[in-house]
Chain A
Amino acid sequence: MRPLDVLRTALWSLGSNKLRSGLTLLGIIIGVTAVIALMTIGRGVQQGITSRIESQGANLLFVQPGSTSSGGVSGGQGSGSSLTLEDAFALVDPVFAPSIKAVSPQIATNAQIVAGRENTNAQVIGITPEYGLVRNAVIETGRLVSSGDILANSQVAVLSASVSEELFGLLSPVGQTVRISGRQFTVVGILEDNNVGFGQSNQVLIPITTAYYRLASQRTAQGGISVQSINVEATSQEDMSTAELEIATILRLRHRITGDDDFVISSQQGLIETLNETTTALVLFLGTVAGISLFVGGIGVMNIMLVSVTERTREIGIRKAIGAKRRDILFQFITEAVILTMSGGVIGLILGLSFGPILNGRAVLGPRPIETGFSLDIAIIALVVSGAIGLLSGIYPALRAARMHPIDALRYE
């Protein structure tokens, strides 16, 4: 039997019972739509997280103090105070650390910010001018902290957009005064909100020296100015591991370390991987739930095929009597099942994809807009899976049809 005839016969059979075929199709469509929609949303979440993390600055390494432990109780990573401002400056070393492009130490504390009658809580971060470069901080208006501010311990502040909005509404805060922990600061700029999705978006940036002397004077045991973390930008993605090694070497020398490091170096990559693992697990879970509906759809196809084989016993007998081989009958029914599920797959794919643009950028399920990400592999997976479901659910009914004895089939009423 020619492939075209097989196809035409299958379409004809499906078309001769449109309602039933349609309802069966619906089961597959819903399953595939659910899988596609959830996968694109999951993919979008993943891509969103990755891009937001990367927007914080490329090739970023974080150096934080190691954990302290007092009486056997670990204080957790970053709880120690082993890193100093001098450590940070020492990392800027073209000879011993050629893979390091820029270094930005920071001291952070939480404080109440007051402007007139308004007040809010924000993370106050003491920074150096390199912060802008390393963390990709974008200034909306005004300027960032300058070297002059650092040297003069100036009481200037850059507000994040959300802080500015809370304190000043739509007015421009540049030039205005805010009080941070009771001290007067002049606002010099507005920072675009960071959208990382974790950590605070309420941020106030001030010179690191000011932060140290006025807000959070914490010293190390050796008397250095303690910093909470040092952001290091490597010269390139490939140099990340070299940069990590250089940082470790310099800090070990400076801290005279022979045993365990008193600092921890982490990278965005690690962060992205961890988050990806989490979201992948989530996507898989959602995919499984959607997959179950697809599976149920497959059972529906099988059910209908079994009914159809029984109903068409006589037709099978006629076909066999005029010379159809087992293989011909087998292919005919499998083709019907596959056409059913594949077309369900295509329609589901289109529906699932159209959910993407509809949901994309809209806050449907929470305050944050949903992002969707689609790629060809999702489409291919959907089509292959729906085809495979057709094959699996069609094979048993088709075998039953093919094995019928022509005489019994012809006599069937």
Chain B
Amino acid sequence: MVATLAAAGEETPGVGRPESGPCGVLNMIEIDNVTKVYKMGDTELAALGGVTLTIADGEMVAVMGASGSGKSTLMNVLGCLDVPTSGRYILDGEDVGKLPDNRLANIRNTKIGFVFQTYNLLPRLTALGNVELALMYGDSRNRRQRAVDALERVGLGDRVKHRPTELSGGQQQRVGIARALVKNPGILLADEPTGNLDSRSGDEVMRILHELHAEGITVIIVTHETDIAEHANRTITMRDGLVVGDESHAVPSTSNGL
């Protein structure tokens, strides 16, 4: 399972599905012929119709597609929020396709950080409280300090006591990122992270995602904006529940992105 080696480097994995490469970077995500079928009464709706994909550790991938293309469903499956109807999903060497609810929760807690389009912060908690929340359900040693560190890392060291309503959209999204990264996850899943933001805040959010990527975190961004997708070094395009395009490209440097 872990044997497949990915094409090396953060910059340019091979076009298409990365095969074994020289540098020995492990695959973070391997999905094999994954389907997701929703039953609505008598009719069955295939949101994913057999997706096969490999994402190496440390990649920065954009998943593009129109609404209804299945990119959100893919995101949910990748994030262990949902289980595939069929097919295999190996995350960080572990087959997670058939795991019980509790184990999935554990994986979400330790390996995956979510960044949502609508931030999804708890309105009555402070920024610090929201970040600490992520540590509440797992290893909670040094919780306060780690949460403060995470907030400082996204540039909100002076906003820890603010509630979401007292923060701008960009700041709220940065709290969301801090909440995702405070657990030191291997993967950051961002679902339209800049969808609700003005371009300046959006650039700031993208800059932080780039930094995290540079630190070795696998970043997966779901978006329908091409200029956001250009930040990634690989773009996976989806349509009707299938992967229709998978291309790698050179990444503009972080400074260019701003």
Q: Is A89 an interface residue (CB 8 A)?
A: no
Give the total of A residues in contact with B, Cβ under 8 Å. 24
CB–CB B106/A323 < 8 A: yes
Contact of A322 (CB < 8 Å), options: B101, B102, B114? B114
| A residues near B76, Cβ cutoff 8 Å | 407
Q: Does residue A143 face the partner (Cβ distance < 8 Å to B)? A: no
Give A312's nearest chain B residue, CB to CB.
B122
Contact of B101 (CB < 8 Å), options: A315, A325, A407, A410: A325
Q: When the two chains form their complex, are residues B101 and A5 in contact, meaning their CB atoms are under 8 A apart? A: no
Q: Is the CB of A315 within 8 A of B122?
A: yes
Check B81 against A5 for contact (C-beta < 8 Å): no
A135 lies within 8 A of chain B by Cβ: no
Assembled-state Cα–Cα distance A405/B79 (Å) = 13
Q: Would A326 and B102 be within 8 Å (CB), given that A2-B140, A406-B81 are in contact?
A: yes
Interface-centre pick from B76, B79, B101 (highest chain A CB count, 10 A): B101
Contact with B140, one of A5, A314, A317, A320 (Cβ below 8 angstroms)? A5
Whether A328 contacts B137 in the complex (CB less than 8 A), given A314-B120, A321-B114, comes out as yes
B136 and A1 contacting across the interface, CB-CB below 8 Å: yes
Contact present for B105 and A324 (CB under 8 Å): yes
Whether B120 contacts A321 by the Cβ 8 Å rule is yes
Q: Is A101 an interface residue (CB 8 A)?
A: no
Residues in B103-128 with C-beta less than 8 Å from chain A = 105-106, 108-110, 114, 116, 120-122, 124-125
Docked CA distance A250–B101 (Å): 82
The answer to whether B134 touches A323 (Cβ under 8 A) is: yes
Cβ–Cβ contact B124 & A16, under 8 A:
yes
Q: Is B138 an interface residue (CB 8 A)?
A: yes
The listed residue (A16, A314, A325, A410) touching B105 by CB distance below 8 A is: A325
| B72-105, CB < 8 A from A | 76, 79, 81-82, 101-102, 105
Which B residue sits closest to A320, measured CB to CB?
B105
Q: Given the known A-B contacts A327-B102, A407-B76, A407-B81, are A322 and B122 also in contact in the complex, defined by CB atoms under 8 Å?
A: no
The distance from the CB of A412 to the nearest CB of chain B, in whole angstroms, is 11
Contacts of A317 in B (CB 8 A): 120
Min Cβ gap B192→A in Å is 13
Contacts of A323 in B (CB 8 A): 105-106, 108-110, 134, 137-138, 183
Contact indicator per residue, chain A 377-413, by CB within 8 Å of chain B (1) or not (0): 0000000000000000000000000000111001000
Query: In the bound complex, do residue B120 and residue A325 qualify as a contact, i.e. CB atoms below 8 Å apart?
Result: no
**Across-interface contacts of B106 in A (CB, < 8 A):** 323, 325
Q: From A17, which residue of chain B is reached at the shortest CB distance?
A: B124
Closest B residue to A325 by beta carbon equals: B105
Judge if A289 is at the interface, Cβ distance under 8 Å. Answer: no
Among A9, A12, A317, A318, which residue has the most Cβ atoms of chain B within 10 A?
A318
CA–CA, A22 and B79, complex, Å: 39
Residues on B with C-beta less than 8 A from A219 are none
Give the nearest-CB partner of B107 in chain A: A323
Find chain B residues with CB under 8 A from A12 CB: 124-125
CA distance A321 to B108 in the complex (A): 7
Interface centre among B102, B134, B136 (most CB of A within 10 A): B136
- Which residues of chain A (279-323) have a CB below 8 Å from chain B? 314-315, 317-323
User: How many angstroms between the C-alpha atoms of A315 and B121 in the bound complex?
Assistant: 8
* A320-344 to B contact mask, C-beta < 8 Å, 1/0: 1111111110000000000000000
Set of chain B residues within 8 Å of A315, measured between Cβ atoms:
122
B71 CB-CB contact with A under 8 Å:
no
A9 to B138: give the CA distance in the assembly, Å.
15
Cross-chain contact A318 with B122 (CB below 8 angstroms): yes
Contacts of B136 in A (CB 8 A): 1-2, 5, 9, 324
B81 touches A322 (CB 8 A): no
Chain B residues lying within 8 Å of A314, measured Cβ to Cβ, are 120
Q: How far is the CA of A406 from the CA of B105 in the complex (A)?
A: 10
> Inside 8 A of A327's CB, which chain B residues have their CB?
102
Which A60-86 residues sit within 8 Å CB-CB of chain B?
Answer: none
- Please give, as numbers and ranges, the residues of chain B lying within 8 Å of A318 by CB-CB distance: 120-122, 133
Q: Does B179 contact A (CB under 8 A)?
A: yes
Which chain B residue lies CB-closest to A328? B137
- Known interface pairs A324-B105, A325-B102. Does A410 touch B120 (Cβ–Cβ under 8 Å)? yes
Tell me, rounded to whole Å, the shortest Cβ–Cβ distance linking B108 to chain A. Answer: 5
Which residue of chain B has its CB nearest to the CB of A6? Answer: B136
A328–B101 alpha-carbon span in the complex (Å): 12
Q: Give the chain B neighbours of A407 by CB distance below 8 A.
A: 76, 81-82
Q: With contacts A2-B140, A5-B136 known, is A322 near B108, CB below 8 A?
A: yes
Question: In the bound complex, how far is the Cα of B122 from the Cα of A133, in angstroms?
Answer: 77
What distance in Å separates the Cβ of A101 from its nearest Cβ neighbour in chain B? 72
Contact, CB under 8 Å: A1 / B137: yes
Closest beta carbon of chain A to B217's beta carbon, Å: 16
B183 cross-chain contacts in A, Cβ below 8 A: 322-323
Q: Which residues of A contact B116 (CB under 8 A)?
A: 410
Contact residue among B79, B81, B101, B124 (Cβ-Cβ distance under 8 Å from A326): B101
Contact digits for A10-36, partner B, Cβ 8 Å, 1 yes 0 no = 001000100000000000000000000
Nearest CB of chain A from residue B45's CB, rounded to whole Å: 15
B89 to chain A, nearest CB (A): 16
Q: Which residues of B contact A (CB under 8 A)?
A: 76, 79, 81-82, 101-102, 105-106, 108-110, 114, 116, 120-122, 124-125, 133-134, 136-138, 140, 179, 183
* A to B CB contacts below 8 Å, 13 in the list: A1-B136, A5-B136, A5-B140, A320-B108, A322-B133, A322-B137, A322-B179, A323-B137, A325-B102, A325-B105, A327-B102, A328-B137, A407-B81
20 more A-B residue pairs beyond the given contacts A323-B106, A328-B137, A407-B81, with a C-beta to C-beta distance below 8 A: A5-B136, A16-B124, A315-B122, A318-B121, A320-B81, A320-B105, A321-B79, A321-B108, A321-B114, A322-B108, A322-B114, A322-B179, A323-B108, A323-B138, A325-B101, A326-B101, A327-B102, A328-B105, A405-B82, A407-B82
**Which chain A residues have a beta carbon within 8 Å of chain B's beta carbons?**
1-2, 5, 9, 12, 16, 314-315, 317-328, 405-407, 410
Ranked 4 nearest A-B pairs via Cβ: A323-B109, A325-B105, A323-B137, A322-B134
